[in-house]
């Protein structure tokens, strides 16, 4: 008589779920008189970044999309293609808001929400 045994092996997934991440950013604004023709500028350039949660994933292309007006900004990729950045040169207060990082990878498209906050710095 033969005995038939069934063995079940549970293996963890080789890849983690496809998600992306990025930190919130704060725009530091100095006090000054402002008008619609002379917007209030931020005191420094601001860089947004995001990366896949799984370090095995490489990025093909990336964008940052500003939610308010759906404007799309091309991102720069790191040499290893593991993270994406977008630097706002001379940002203004109006640049604050929600941005979506969109990463195109071989495994699919990943997104992450990034908040850009405005903060007023008052000096006497």
Q: Where are the domains of the chain?
A: 20-121
pLDDT tens-digit readout, 67-114: 999 999 999 999 999 999 999 988 887 888 999 999 999 999 999 999
20-121 belongs to CATH 2.60.40.420: no
Distance CA 5, CA 14 (A): 27
- 102 strand-pairing partners: 63, 111
Residue 1 has pLDDT above 70, yes or no: no
Whether the full predicted model's pTM is greater than 0.85, yes or no, is no
Distance CA 96, CA 82 (A): 26
Instruction: Provide the pLDDT for residue 100.
Output: 94
pLDDT tens-digit readout, 20-48: 676 666 665 554 555 556 665 666 788 89
């Amino acid at each position: 008589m033969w005995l038939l045994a069934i063995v079940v092996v549970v293996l963890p997934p080789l890849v983690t779920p496809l998600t992306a991440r990025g930190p919130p950013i704060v725009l530091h604004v100095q006090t000054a008189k402002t008008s619609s023709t002379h917007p209030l500028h931020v005191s420094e350039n601001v860089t947004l970044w995001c990366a896949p949660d799984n370090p095995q994933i490489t990025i093909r292309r990336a964008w940052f999309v500003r939610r308010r007006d759906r404007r799309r900004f091309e991102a720069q990729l790191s040499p290893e293609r593991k993270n994406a950045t977008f630097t706002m040169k001379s940002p203004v207060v109006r640049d604050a808001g929600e941005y979506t990082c969109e990463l195109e990878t071989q495994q699919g498209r990943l997104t992450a929400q990034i908040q850009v906050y405005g903060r007023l710095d008052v000096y006497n």
